[in-house]
Amino acid sequence: MKSTNPTKVYLNSLATSGRKSAISQLNETKKALEWNEPVDSSPFHLLTYAQLESLKQHFSEQGKSARTINHALQILKSVADTAFKLDVIDHKAMMRIKSVPSIKGKVIDKGKALSPVQAVLLLNSLSSSGSKVGVRNHAVISLMLATGLRRSELCSLQLNNYCPESHNIVIEKGKGSKARQQFLPDWAESVLNRWLSIRGHRKGPLFTKQGKGIKPITSDTLYLIVTKKTKRILGQTFTPHDLRRTYITRLLNLNVDLLTVSKMAGHANVTTTQLYDKRGIETQRQAALALSYGVSSS
């Protein structure tokens, strides 16, 4: 018999990346409430309006951003909505939770992107390795810079997701369980084929762990690969999500329209894509200089 716990049902409805983020947020909430139950059996759907307002205040005092607090609120509201659909709470209880207002505040500009010079330095340095692990790491980072894949998406790739005939990677289950294609530039495909010449063409995960057998690299392993390599080569630590920001920023710098970039990034709307734009003030200055109405400057 399937579980009817609203939190567990809600978490099971999410894609891997979304589930991990939601569990992290719910753990923070559970800690604030001093609950001891596991996350997926905690009664988040029974929280009152007053408790949610207190949580907002608590998180604000901890220094959490408005965006983080609102994300936590949205998760709790989604759990309540699930509880209503499961007939665990009534409509009035659900609406009380959903009526808790989000907080207003400036969105903090998080994350960073590699400059074109840094990206070239990183890729050139990685390309010099001839070891199996070195070639794999080069292919992993190249693919992230060439496609902007999320960590969970890259770790889930199977060999048959690569389509050399159409020069693309198929993401079978991205965020929101949506499938999409990611086309590969020639340089990235060349690096990937170099890795496949070592990995072989046995069925299984596209990127594998060290050692015998074919086991997929984990999200934690991928994080360590990116952070350690960028720190060693660039003297500055970048995360896998920074490589995703780099991908999006680079496309925007190439004057690809925002809607297309949003689709290539696997975003549901362009507003999310805009949060990844790290072009900075120089782009605005160059745009102003390029603006002309055919009027002489004299």
pLDDT tens-place string over residues 129-179: 989 999 999 999 999 999 999 988 999 999 999 999 999 999 886 665 678
Average pLDDT, the chain: 86
The residue to which tokens 């969105």 are assigned: 107
The residue among 197, 196, 198, 218 whose CA lies nearest residue 206 is 196
Q: Are 252 and 261 in contact (CB under 8 A)?
A: yes
CA angle at residue 21 from 54 to 146, to 5 degrees?
A: 140
Residue 290, pLDDT above cutoff 80: no
Please give the share of the chain, as a percent, with pLDDT higher than 70. Answer: 88
Least confident range of 52-66, 74-88, 191-205, 267-281: 267-281
Q: Would you mind telling me the total number of residues written for the chain in this entry?
A: 298
Instruction: Specify which residues 170 forms β-bridges with.
Output: 181
Residue 225, pLDDT above cutoff 90: yes
The residue to which tokens 């999200």 are assigned: 219
Which residues, including other chains, have CB under 8 Å from residue 42's CB and lie 6 or more apart?
7, 26, 30, 35
Phi, psi of 73 (to 5 degrees): -60, -40
- Greater confidence (200 vs 109) lies with 200
- Greater confidence (76 vs 291) lies with 76
Residue 283, pLDDT above cutoff 90: no
Q: What is the largest CA-CA distance in the chain?
A: 80
Per-residue pLDDT at 188: 94
Residue 119, judged by CB atoms within 10 A of its CB (0-12, 13-18, 19+), counts as: buried
Q: Which helix (H) or strand (E) holds 170?
A: strand 168-171
Per-residue pLDDT at 1: 41
Q: Which of 66-70, 116-120, 266-270 has the highest mean pLDDT?
A: 116-120
- Greater confidence (257 vs 212) lies with 257
Is the four-CA dihedral 76, 78, 80, 82 of positive or negative sign? Answer: negative
What is the location of CATH 1.10.443.10 in the chain?
Answer: 116-281
Per-residue pLDDT at 256: 86
**The amino acid at 216:** P
Q: How many CA atoms lie within 13 A of 255 on its CB side?
A: 2
Q: Give 118's pLDDT tier (boundaries 50, 70, 90).
A: very high
Per-residue pLDDT at 180: 87
Q: Give 60's pLDDT tier (boundaries 50, 70, 90).
A: confident
The yes/no answer on whether domain 116-281 falls in CATH 1.10.443.10 is: yes
Sheet of strand 168-171, all strands in order from the earlier edge strand to the far edge: 162-163, 168-171, 180-183
How many whole angstroms separate alpha carbon 225 and alpha carbon 139? 11
